[in-house]
Amino acid sequence: MRYRLETFRPKAFLLPLRQGCYSRREKIPQQVVGRQTILNSREETLKIRLSIALVGLAISFALPAFAQQTKTADPQLRQRLVDVIKKHGDAMNNNDAVAAAACFTEDAVYVTDSGPINGREAIEKWYADLFHKVHFSDHIITIDQDSPHIIGTDGKEMWATGGWSTSIKGENFGPTQIKGYWSVIREGDDWKIRMLTSNIAPTPAPAETK
């Protein structure tokens, strides 16, 4: 009588679940990996949200300090600006085209209400033509409270804003008062004007009489 030996191969046995059904044991590691992936994803989400919250908190602390810095100009820096602006104002009151143009750099740009003027030589000619037509007096330049502002880190560039007023008299008119606003970029140890922009404020319309 012959017997055939067969190798016993255990099959994956079933484990009961709470719902009353059965699942193979070999599937359990896959479920564990799936749950671990979900947990990792949630942890990453929480980390991102925490990082965003910290960045927002840092910005909220930084903004008040930045606002405080921009409202008040350095007194010594402001005095330097006052000194160099006085030179320009004196040149205007003296109707001196050479002195007025000397306040600008060689490659400066002066943006007037009638268009830009490029270069110190052209600016001097523009002033000469202007002073030939009208006479300036009582030229006053004011500086905005928060000006000037330093550009860069070497302290040799700055920008500022303000207003101006002057009295002009022509051959057949005046004297009359005009005013406007300006913005400037100055550079170098002597803070010459690299770019100046100015305009003339419109004259208010006369009040209607009843």
The ranges assigned to domains in the chain are 22-70, 75-198
- Pick the residue with more confidence: 53 or 35? 35
Q: What is the pLDDT of residue 164?
A: 93
Q: What is the pLDDT of residue 184?
A: 93
Straight-line distance from the first to the last Cα atom of the chain, in angstroms, rounded to the nearest whole number: 138
Average pLDDT over residues 162-174: 92
- Pick the residue with more confidence: 204 or 19? 204
By 3-state DSSP, what share of the chain in percent is helix, strand and coil, each rounded to 5? 40, 30, 30
CA distances, 94 to each of 90, 173, 197 (Å): 6, 19, 21
Average pLDDT over residues 31-58: 52
In whole angstroms, what is the distance from residue 76 CA to residue 98 CA? Answer: 28
- In the CATH hierarchy, which top-level class contains the domain 75-198? alpha beta
In whole angstroms, what is the distance from residue 182 CA to residue 142 CA? Answer: 9
Residue 122's Cβ-side half-sphere holds a number of Cα atoms within 13 Å equal to 11
Name 194's Cβ contacts closer than 8 Å, sequence gap at least 6: 104, 105, 107, 108, 109, 185, 186, 187
Which of these ranges, 14-23, 37-46, 77-86, 176-185, has the smallest mean pLDDT? Answer: 14-23
Counted residue by residue, the chain has a size of: 210
Say whether pLDDT at 15 is over 60.
Answer: no
DSSP for residue 27: G
Neighbours of 181 (CB within 10 A): 15
Q: What is the pLDDT of residue 201?
A: 83
Q: What angle do CA 132, 137, 139 make, to 5 degrees?
A: 115
Give the percent of the chain with pLDDT over 90: 45
Tokens read off for 206: 């006369």
Q: Which pTM does this prediction carry?
A: 0.61
163 within 8 A of 179, measured Cβ to Cβ: yes
